[in-house]
Amino acid sequence: MSEAERRPRHENPPGSLTEKVYRYVLANELLLPGEDVTVALSGGADSVSLLWVLRALAPRMELRLRAAHFHHGIRGREADRDAEFCRALCAGWEIPFTLGRGDAAARAAETGESLEEAARVLRYRFLEQTAPGKLATAHNADDNAETLLIHLLRGSGPRGLGGIPPRRGRIVRPLLSCTREEIEALLAREGLPHVEDSSNAADDCLRNRLRHQVLPLLRRENPSLTRALGRSAELLRQEDAFLSRLAAREGAACGTAGSYDCGRLLALDPVLRRRVLLGALEELGLEDPASVYVEALEKLLRAGPSARLDLPGGRRALREYGLLRFGPAPAPEELPDTVLAVPGVTALPGRLGQIRCFVTKNSYFSKKNLTTFGLKCDMIAPPEIHVRGRRPGDRLRLSGGSKALKALMIDRKLPARLRAAIPVLCLEDRPIAVFGVGADPAWLAAPGQEALAVCWEPDPALFSGPGEDGAPFPHP
């Protein structure tokens, strides 16, 4: 790397992008003199520009600057190229560099997350573990505009429409006041090298479609669209912060952490009540709680004297007469190997309810009803049919072929804390059907055949409300 590439070609005049970032950093208190800051370096135009700008500001602000890059294990040789580019760039600029690696595809298969979400989780986990101080990401004003529109399309409230905040915890975004056009001008003026992610050119995700198709049309109506949306987002963030402070006062008047007076909550203005409930979910450790959980809590407040709602991460909300309480939800008991009464009723431990078995004729069982299976009588008798919890190595054959039972439960979005308790129907220890998942087609009776109906009737509260992934358990 030449000396020209090592050092800025120009000083930072008052109107330069570097000076603009400096003023933005000070105004929003993103970085303090003497702080340690790690740049999340992808190798793309934005992150290279951020590293360049902070490197120029480091002597002025006495910053200890580092960079980190995460290889997601996807995109093949292109990803290898990006990692090597970032390493070489930091070596040339004499910036300490850390490279992390992960397998986003494996995580997506294990958790049921989208590949994009799995990659994001792994990346931020690595970055937050690597950064000893602040973590700087290269989100810019155009990213903020796109995020605002995405949230608008999804029907978000003020918090979502506030877009990307300048800081969240240790994460800071110094380029948030800079447009993509300004960043590209800096790259051209300074001759800065960078790499391009080929996936950014495809329109297979909403953000890219907005960037390539929708925003150009909107900019014909308002060439200053990015700045206009940025101002709207900033105003909404300010109002959101005010509502949060007001809700914190009102929430304190309605009770203590983890316990609220239902009557006082119901007497609040609906806007404040929703914000108090949102704050209660955040205190439980839910990051950006989905509105479905706030709506479910609203219903719980108006439920009978005793009701409950299971929340993500093994948490629970309880309505006990006049109080709304939050706390950990007890995990259901694991299901031991049990021989079913055929025909008859078999009681299961705890809140797992019971399984009823009876012979019926001319029955048709919907594939969408995953709590009842109609099995071929001639294949069931005389062997005993057992029910037990999932075990390592269990596989189940469905119409699409055989697959690990754990992966199938993830595919069905069954909450992790409940998977060990979901009954698995077995013959000679071979799974033939799993409630909430499906049954081996070879064992299912056809419409009109005599069938053994096997019906699971758990405690309805076990699967009440949204599951960990926002999906309720499929009841009849």
Cα 92–95–100 angle (5° rounding)? 105
Separation between Cα atoms, residue 251 and residue 245, nearest integer Å: 10
Q: Name the amino acid, one letter, at 179.
A: T
**What is the pTM assigned to this prediction?**
0.65
Per residue in 211-265, pLDDT (tens digit) is 999 999 999 999 999 999 999 999 999 999 999 899 989 988 998 767 899 999 9
Element holding 454 (H helix, E strand): strand 451-457
Residue 176, token pair as written in the block: 């948030």
Query: Omega before 466 cis (within 30°)?
Result: no
Which ranges constitute the DSSP H helices of 94-191?
A: 104-111, 115-130, 141-153, 158-161, 180-190
Separation between Cα atoms, residue 65 and residue 58, nearest integer Å: 7
Q: Among 248, 234, 450, which residue's Cα sits nearest to residue 361?
A: 450
What are 37's strand-pairing partners? 65, 134
Per residue in 375-390, pLDDT (tens digit) is 888 777 667 889 999 9
CATH of domain 3-230: 3.40.50.620
Residue 335: phi and psi, rounded to 5, are: -90, 115
| DSSP labels, 393-409 | T-EEEETTEEEEHHHHH
Domain segments of the chain as ranges? 3-230, 257-328, 338-463
Token pair 């029907």 is found at 155
Largest CA distance in the chain: 88
Q: Which sign does the torsion angle of CA 200, 203, 204, 209 carry? A: positive
Report the range of poorest mean pLDDT among 162-171, 198-207, 254-263. Answer: 198-207
183 — pLDDT class (breaks 50, 70, 90): very high
Per residue in 295-352, pLDDT (tens digit) is 889 999 988 777 888 787 678 888 888 889 888 776 667 788 999 998 899 998 877 8
Query: Omega before 382 cis (within 30°)?
Result: yes
Class of CATH domain 257-328: alpha beta
What are 373's strand-pairing partners? 454
Separation between Cα atoms, residue 91 and residue 70, nearest integer Å: 17
Per residue in 30-46, pLDDT (tens digit) is 999 999 999 999 999 99
Q: How far is CA 410 from CA 38, 415, 460, in A?
A: 35, 8, 21
Residue 370 in this model has a pLDDT that exceeds 80? no
Q: Among 26, 33, 99, 27, which residue's Cα sits nearest to residue 66?
A: 99
Listing from the earlier edge strand, what are the strands of the sheet with 451-457?
344-347, 354-360, 451-457, 372-376
Separation between Cα atoms, residue 104 and residue 107, nearest integer Å: 5
Return all residues near 294 (Cβ < 8 A) that are at least 6 apart: 274, 277, 278, 281
If one compares 285 and 464, the residue with the highest pLDDT of the two is 285
